[in-house]
Amino acid sequence: MSRESLLGYRLEDLEQVARDNGLSAFRGRQIARWIYLRRASDFGEMTDLPGAAREELALRYTITGAQVRGHWTGSGGAAEKYLVGFPDGAAVETVLMRYRHGDTLCLSTQVGCAYGCPFCASGADGLVRDLSVEEILAQWYLVQRSLDPLGDRVSRLVYMGSGEPLANYDAVVRSLRLFNSAEGPAIGSRRMTLSTVGVVPGIRALAEESMQVTLAISLHAPNDYLRSQIVPINRRYPLGQLLSAARHYANRTGRRVSFEYAMIRGINDHPDLARELAILLEDTPCHVNLIRFNPVQSSSWEGSDDRSIEQFRDVLSLSGIAVTVRRSIGDDIEGACGQLRRRFGED
Ligand code: SF4
């Protein structure tokens, strides 16, 4: 009989596990501490639980069935890619970005992706399956365990790995709440960023969740004609609907929305497009991040040169739009969403 994984269980779920196994509910709190605070790898380490209970729990449950299957370091040590594998053979990448002020982890939410953006390797073979809450948490748990001996801590999370987070809505929202909970990893919701390609119903639903998570929207173009070529989902949720949902999110949460704009040479980097972008965004509380496009094998597009990026930035800035040029890291280890990954926490 396969054992159930407890990673991804909330405190109340673990209290129920304790009761189901003839223990007092407060044992659930102890189990939560062992899993989320001390990153125990098995029940034998949970020394404040009775020995018989530890043995009984180990027969029925495991902490996680996920494992690190590969590990690469790049960007002079600033980025580390982990390949996290699951019992059914599926695997996803999670990328750790290391900064002076703390570590940021880029999480995947699906195996593959259904959205087929032409510049993205994650979507090249379509969607394989959604990740469960446990599998999203497992990426953090395994990486944090490797940081524990160094005394380092993942202090920020970005949902920018493979998959579209809002297409796996329930598991993603549960994972955000668990990451944020005092009995879980206790990562502040303002230190979590969810990146979407523009799934409008998901943005509107997220706005009602009473969370302070930063919403990052992959924009990449200021008009529907161009954006539909770069981001195919734009044909379903065109810019009018997307910007309306973004404003709704900003109003409900009091948080500025981040717009990510990958600068592609000769495609979306002309100063006229910057002027169009400034008009598009003038009523939306937002911050624009310009990131040089990172060439991929499946596309002939190239990154913009420095001068074009600076001109584009200046047009936005002079129009009153908050804008930052970001540099992506982890390109040399081919992080799944290397297009968007950028230096977080520089604001
Ligand atoms: S960019 Fe994001 S939404 Fe588009 S295919 Fe890649 S993972 Fe999917």
The two three-digit tokens of residue 95, written as one number = 């990328």
**DSSP state letters, 276-331:** HHHHHHTTS-EEEEEEE----TT----BPPHHHHHHHHHHHHHTT--EEEE----G
For ligand 1, the distance from its centroid to the CA atom of residue 54, given in whole angstroms, is 42
CB burial of 183-193 (b: ≥16 within 10 Å; e: otherwise) equals: bbbebebebbb
Residue 344: the pLDDT is 38
Q: Taking the CA atoms of the chain, what radius of gyration do you get in angstroms?
A: 21
CATH architecture of the domain covering 4-62: Orthogonal Bundle (1.10)
For the CA of 218, the nearest atom of ligand 1: 1
**Whether the predicted pLDDT of 345 surpasses 50:** no
Which of the residues are catalytic?
93, 337
Confidence bin at 331 (pLDDT 50/70/90): low
For ligand 1, the distance from its centroid to the CA atom of residue 346, given in whole angstroms, is 24
Q: What is the pLDDT of residues 57-72, one digit of tens each?
A: 999 999 999 999 999 8
- Please say whether the dihedral angle defined by the alpha carbons of residues 243, 244, 245 and 248, taken in this order, is positive or negative: positive
Residue 20: the pLDDT is 94
Mutate to test the pocket of ligand 1, among 122, 228, 236 (most ligand atoms within 8 A of CB): 122
Q: What is the pLDDT of residues 285-309, one digit of tens each?
A: 999 999 998 877 667 889 999 999 9
**Whether the predicted pLDDT of 55 surpasses 90:** yes
Nearest in space to 42 (alpha carbons), one of 24, 26, 60, 25: 60
Residue 301: the pLDDT is 87
Confidence bin at 2 (pLDDT 50/70/90): confident
Residue 335: the pLDDT is 44
Percent of residues, the chain, with pLDDT higher than 90: 82
**Which residue do the tokens 């890291």 mark?**
329
For the CA of 163, the nearest atom of ligand 1: 7
Confidence bin at 341 (pLDDT 50/70/90): very low
- In eight-state DSSP terms, residue 131 is P
Residue 1: the pLDDT is 61
The identity of residue 171, as a single letter, is: A
CATH class for the domain made up of 67-333: alpha beta
Residue 123: the pLDDT is 73
For ligand 1, the distance from its centroid to the CA atom of residue 110, given in whole angstroms, is 10
For the CA of 231, the nearest atom of ligand 1: 4
Confidence bin at 124 (pLDDT 50/70/90): confident
Residue nearest to atom 4 of ligand 1 (CA): 117
How many angstroms separate the first and last alpha carbons of the chain?
50
Instruction: Please state, in angstroms and rounded to a whole number, the distance separating the CA atoms of residues 329 and 68.
Output: 21
Mutate to test the pocket of ligand 1, among 115, 128, 291 (most ligand atoms within 8 A of CB): 115
**Whether the predicted pLDDT of 343 surpasses 60:** no
Confidence bin at 116 (pLDDT 50/70/90): confident
Residue 347: the pLDDT is 35
**Whether the predicted pLDDT of 338 surpasses 70:** no
Q: Where are the alpha helices (DSSP H) in the chain?
A: 11-20, 26-32, 51-60, 133-147, 169-180, 200-207, 224-230, 239-253, 271-281, 306-318
For the CA of 114, the nearest atom of ligand 1: 8
The domain ranges of the chain are 4-62, 67-333
The pLDDT mean for the chain works out to 91
Q: What is the pLDDT of residues 134-167, one digit of tens each?
A: 999 999 999 999 999 999 999 999 999 999 999 9
Provide residues with CB under 6 Å of ligand 1: 113, 115-117, 120, 122-123, 162-164, 197, 337
**Whether the predicted pLDDT of 328 surpasses 80:** no
